[in-house]
Amino acid sequence: MTCRTIAARARQAVLALFVVGLTGCAVRPRPAATHIDRHVDLQAVLAHPRLTRGARVRWGGLVVRDHVGPTHSTLTILAYPLNGRGRPRLRRMPEGRFQAVAPGYLDPVLFARGRQVTVVGTVIGTRAGLIGEARYVYPRVQILATHLWRLYRPGQRHWHFGFGIGIAL
């Protein structure tokens, strides 16, 4: 091998490592926001429950109530607008409430009241219910994926620097 061949291969190897390193730092929305119908929101489902049935949505907010039944679990969620990563924006006005249904068991300790959650799911219609003594119609979603957001302690500090390196104290 000549010096030029070795130098060319070394450059290729460095470039490949650089590209792999950058892709490792890439940020993607949680849960995956692929094939989401962004035009279907809670109000659209309430206005047209049959037309929106089967639409894939990504909604999130605060868990208000959880119910574990014999065959499925249901989360009642106070919906908030989501940021680009899919995290609920709690400083915005809530958009309403919806129910997220999962076959089997969702642990009530993990999905406790007040936890921030984002779900990707399929619209399955609406269901009448109560909030206190007031009647309410809940849009319902069959859960395909969930993401529980990290709990922050008051006064917890975060520093982020470099390429994907972070420290939380």
Q: Tens digit of pLDDT for each residue in 69-78?
A: 999 999 999 9
Strands 116-131 and 72-80: unpaired
Helices H / strands E in the chain, number of each: 3, 7
Sequence letter at residue 160: H
109 in any annotated domain: yes
Name which of 169, 167, 162, 168 is nearest 25 in CA terms. Answer: 162
55 in any annotated domain: yes
Q: Residue 107: give the domain boundaries.
A: 42-148
163 in any annotated domain: no
pLDDT in tens, 96-123: 999 999 999 999 999 999 999 999 999 9
pLDDT in tens, 115-148: 999 999 999 999 999 999 999 999 999 999 999 9
Q: How far apart are CA 45 and CA 47, in angstroms?
A: 5
Average pLDDT over residues 10-36: 53
Average pLDDT over residues 85-105: 95
Q: What angle do CA 70, 73, 74 make, to 5 degrees?
A: 135
36 in any annotated domain: no
**CATH code for the domain of 76:** 2.40.50.140
Q: What percent of the chain has pLDDT over 70?
A: 69
Instruction: Give the pLDDT of residue 13.
Output: 55
9 in any annotated domain: no
In the structure, what pLDDT confidence band is assigned to residue 151 with cuts at 50, 70 and 90?
A: confident
Domain count, the chain: 1
* Torsion angle (degrees, nearest 10) of CA 118, 119, 123, 125: -70
